[in-house]
C-alpha cells in the first residue's frame, strides 16, 4: 500500500496578504518514488461508477460532475490519488493528511480492514460534486457514514470565503472546524483539531459524536471538548515526528510564542504577527529547521540534533500544492493551483490557473519511469544532486527559485489584466496559454540550474587527480 505523510497549512482570507483563502499540503511518500502529474478531469471523463483499487469499495456517483484539476499518481497502480484541485465553481480540496488516533476510539469504532475509502479516493468522490467548502465537509461526512475508512485522515476545503478542516475519527465518524478568517493552521501527521464547540455553526461532526464521548467516558478534561485529547495521540513519536513541524511554522509567524518542539498541546488555531503570503508558505513547505540546531544542512547542531526532528521539506516530498481562491479578480481568474514537484528544497512552485481544459505536457505527461522531458523527474534529479553538497548548491537553487517565481508572477499580472473582460472559451484559451508559458520558463530555468550545478560540482568531485596534485 502507498504510504503518504504530509504537512498542511491553511490561511484565512483576512490573514492572507491579498485576501485570498489558501490551503496547502505537501504530498509525501515512502521509500518508493511515486511520480505525480497535473491533469484536468472534464465532466465526460469523470467515472459514474467508481471502484477503489486498494479495497475494491464501489461507489455510484451522482450525475453532472463539475470540471476539476487534480494531481494524480502517474502510474496509477495504487489508484488515482487525485490529491488536490480546484473545480469550476472555485471550490478547492486537498486530501489527505495522514493523522493519528488512540486505542479508546478504535475500540468503539474500529478502522475498517481491507474495505472502505481512503486517501486514494476522497478527491475523486468529492470535488466534482461540491459548490462550497461547507458542502465538501458534508459530502465527505456522508461517504464516511456509508462506506467507512481504513485509515485516519485530515482534509481541507476552501472557497472564496471559507476554509474548513475535517478529520476522520475511527471507521465511520468525523469532525470539522471552520478556520477563522483572521487565523492560520499548521497540521502535521497527528490529530490536530483541539477545542470544539458542538453548539456553534462553525463546527460540524457526526450526529452521534458528542453522545459517543459521553457514553464511553472519553473526555479527559474537566471542562469543554478538546478533540485532540479525546481522539488523538500524545506519543514520543509525536514529539519527534509531528510537533516540531508545527512549532517551526508557528515560531516563523510569531517568534514570541512560548512553546518548544516537544510540546504536545500546541494550538490548532493560531494568529500570525503579520499577513501571510504565498511566498511564506513556499518557504515553510521547503523548510528544514533553518537557523536552528535541527537543520540537517546547517552548522549549528550536533550530528544527533540534526536528525532529531522530521522537517517539512524532505526527500519524500513528491508534490506540493497551494490552492488559492482570490477575491480581487473576476471569478474566472480566481482559482490558482500553485504546484511544485519533488523535494521542495530544489524546486519552484508555479501558479497555474485552474479555469482550463488541459495542462502543460511537462507537468502532465510524467510517466512512471525516469524521463528528462518531465519536470517531476528533473526536480527529483536536481534535489538528489543538490543534497550531496547543499552549501555548494543551495545558493544556486535560491537564485533559480526567486528568478522563476518572479517570472511567473509577472506572467500572472499580465494575464490578469489581459483577461479581465474575457469569458468562456476565450478566457480558457488565454489562461491555458499563460500556464504553458509559465511551465516552459520553469522547465528551461530548471535545466539551466541543473547545468550550473554540474559545472559547479565538477571541481568538487572526490574522484579526481589534478595535474598539480
Q: What is the pLDDT of residues 275-309, one digit of tens each?
A: 999 999 999 999 999 999 999 999 999 999 999 99
Per-residue pLDDT, averaged over 153-157, amounts to 98
What pLDDT is stored for residue 2 in this prediction? 59
pLDDT in tens, 419-456: 999 999 999 999 999 999 999 999 999 999 999 999 99
> Is residue 92 domain-resident?
yes
Measured between alpha carbons, how far is 29 from 27 in angstroms, rounded to an integer?
7
User: Which pLDDT band holds residue 186 (cuts at 50, 70, 90)?
Assistant: very high
Label residue 1 by pLDDT band (50, 70, 90). Answer: low
Residue 212 inside a domain? The answer is yes
Among candidate residues 108, 143, 99, the one with its CA nearest the CA of residue 213: 108
439 in a structural domain: no
Its domain, for residue 126, covers 7-373
Q: Which residue has the higher pLDDT, 31 or 162?
A: 162
pLDDT at 351: 98
**Helical segments of 98-242, H only:** 103-108, 122-126, 133-147, 209-215, 227-231, 236-237
Instruction: Decide if 458 is inside a domain.
Output: no
Distance CA 167, CA 175 (A): 6
- What is the mean predicted confidence (pLDDT) over 389-414? 97
CA angle centred on 271, ends 268 and 272, rounded to 5°: 125
pLDDT at 465: 85
Give the percent of the chain with pLDDT over 70: 99
Predicted pLDDT of residue 302 = 97
The yes-or-no verdict on residue 388 having pLDDT over 70 is yes
Average pLDDT estimate for 333-361: 98
Helix (H) or strand (E) segment spanning residue 283: helix 278-285
Task: Please check whether residue 431 lies inside any domain of the structure.
Answer: no
Strands 7-11 and 184-187: antiparallel
Calpha distance 202→194 (Å, rounded): 14
CA distance 101 to 116: 18
Question: Could you give the C-alpha distances from 227 to 45, 71, 120, 166, 198, in angstroms and in order?
Answer: 39, 31, 25, 12, 11
Show Cβ contacts of residue 396 under 8 Å, excluding neighbours closer than 6 positions: 449, 452, 453, 456
Residues with a known catalytic role = 6
Judge whether 446 lies within some domain.
no
Assigned domain for 399 exists: no
Q: How confident is the model at residue 4 (pLDDT cuts 50, 70, 90)?
A: low
Residue located via cell numbers 488512540:
102
Q: Which residues contact 388 (CB under 8 A, 6 or more apart)?
A: 457
Query: How does the average pLDDT of the chain come out, rounded?
Result: 97
What is the per-residue pLDDT for 469? 58
pLDDT in tens, 243-282: 999 999 999 999 999 999 999 999 999 999 999 999 999 9
Q: What pLDDT is recorded for position 468?
A: 64
Structural domain count of the chain: 1
CATH of the domain at 48: 3.60.60.10
Cis peptide before 24 (omega within 30 of 0): no
d(Cα 105, Cα 99) in Å, to the nearest integer?
14
pLDDT score for 404: 98
Q: Does 337 score more than 60 pLDDT?
A: yes
pLDDT at residue 119 greater than cutoff 70: yes
Answer whether residue 379 is part of any domain: no
Amino acid at each position: 500500500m502507498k504510504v503518504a505523510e504530509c504537512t498542511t497549512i491553511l490561511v484565512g482570507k483576512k490573514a492572507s496578504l491579498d485576501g485570498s483563502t489558501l490551503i496547502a499540503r505537501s504530498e509525501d511518500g515512502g521509500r518508493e518514488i511515486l511520480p505525480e502529474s497535473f491533469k484536468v478531469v472534464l465532466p465526460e471523463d469523470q467515472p459514474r461508477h467508481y471502484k477503489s483499487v486498494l479495497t475494491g469499495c464501489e461507489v455510484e456517483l451522482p450525475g453532472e460532475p463539475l470540471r476539476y484539476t487534480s494531481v494524480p499518481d502517474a502510474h496509477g497502480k495504487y489508484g488515482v490519488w487525485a490529491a488536490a484541485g480546484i473545480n469550476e465553481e472555485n471550490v478547492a480540496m486537498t486530501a489527505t493528511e495522514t493523522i493519528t488516533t488512540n486505542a479508546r476510539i478504535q475500540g468503539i469504532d474500529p478502522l475498517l480492514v481491507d474495505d472502505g475509502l481512503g486517501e486514494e479516493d476522497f478527491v475523486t468522490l468529492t470535488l466534482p460534486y461540491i459548490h462550497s467548502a461547507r458542502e465538501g465537509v458534508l459530502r465527505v461526512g456522508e461517504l464516511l457514514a456509508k462506506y467507512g475508512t481504513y485509515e485516519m485522515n485530515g482534509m481541507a476545503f476552501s472557497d472564496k470565503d471559507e476554509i474548513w478542516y475535517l478529520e476522520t475519527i475511527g471507521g465511520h465518524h468525523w469532525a470539522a472546524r471552520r478556520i477563522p478568517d483572521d487565523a492560520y493552521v499548521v497540521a502535521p501527521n497527528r490529530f490536530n483539531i483541539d477545542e470544539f464547540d458542538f453548539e456553534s455553526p462553525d463546527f460540524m461532526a457526526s450526529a452521534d459524536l458528542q453522545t459517543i464521548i459521553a457514553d464511553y467516558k472519553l473526555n479527559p478534561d474537566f471542562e469543554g471538548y478538546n478533540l485532540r485529547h479525546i481522539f488523538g495521540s500524545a506519543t514520543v513519536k509525536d514529539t519527534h515526528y509531528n510537533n516540531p513541524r508545527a512549532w517551526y511554522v508557528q515560531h516563523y509567524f510569531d517568534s514570541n510564542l512560548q512553546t518548544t518542539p516537544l510540546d504536545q498541546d500546541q494550538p490548532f488555531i493560531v494568529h500570525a504577527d503579520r499577513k501571510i503570503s504565498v511566498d511564506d508558505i513556499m518557504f515553510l513547505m521547503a523548510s528544514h529547521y533553518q537557523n536552528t540546531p535541527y537543520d540537517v544542512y546547517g552548522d549549528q547542531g550536533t550530528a544527533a540534533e540534526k536528525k532529531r526532528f522530521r522537517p517539512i521539506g524532505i526527500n519524500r516530498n513528491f508534490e506540493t500544492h497551494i490552492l488559492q481562491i482570490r477575491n480581487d479578480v473576476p471569478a474566472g481568474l480566481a482559482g490558482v493551483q500553485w504546484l511544485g514537484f519533488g523535494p521542495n528544497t530544489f524546486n519552484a512552485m508555479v501558479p497555474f490557473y485552474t479555469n482550463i481544459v488541459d495542462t502543460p505536457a511537462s507537468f502532465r505527461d510524467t510517466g512512471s519511469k525516469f524521463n528528462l522531458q518531465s519536470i517531476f523527474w528533473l526536480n527529483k534529479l536536481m534535489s538528489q544532486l543538490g543534497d550531496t553538497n547543499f552549501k555548494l548548491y543551495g545558493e544556486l537553487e535560491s537564485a533559480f527559485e526567486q528568478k522563476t517565481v518572479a517570472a511567473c508572477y509577472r506572467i500572472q499580472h499580465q494575464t490578469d489584466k489581459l483577461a479581465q473582460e474575457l469569458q468562456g472559451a476565450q478566457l480558457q484559451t488565454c489562461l491555458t496559454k499563460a500556464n504553458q508559458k509559465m511551465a516552459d520558463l520553469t522547465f528551461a530555468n530548471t535545466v539551466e540550474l541543473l547545468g550550473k550545478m554540474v559545472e559547479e560540482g565538477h571541481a568538487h568531485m572526490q574522484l579526481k587527480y589534478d595535474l598539480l596534485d
